Amino acid sequence: MGPFEIAAIAIIGGLGYSAYEVHMKTKGKAGKGELEALQTELQRLKERVSTLESIVTDKSYQLKEQINKL
């Protein structure tokens, strides 16, 4: 293996590593926006579940269910 092959392998390896670093940085930035969207959706769903729990545990709701079963 001559000096030209070694130099070519080193250059190709360096370019590959550089491309990998750019890919990982870009992937991380896109993930932050997606993470924020998921956190917002999770908070909204928690509020909805809380509302539904308060409706179901309400005494008047339970009374209506018992009347409907009759």
Q: What is the pLDDT of residues 21-68, one digit of tens each?
A: 888 887 766 667 778 888 999 999 999 999 888 888 877 777 777 788
Residue that has been written with the tokens 């080193």 in this structure: 10
Q: What is the pLDDT of residue 45?
A: 95
What pLDDT sits at residue 42?
Answer: 95
Average pLDDT of 8-21?
A: 89
What's the predicted TM-score (pTM) here? 0.48
Residue 48: predicted pLDDT: 93
Between the two ends of the chain, the Cα-to-Cα distance in Å is 90
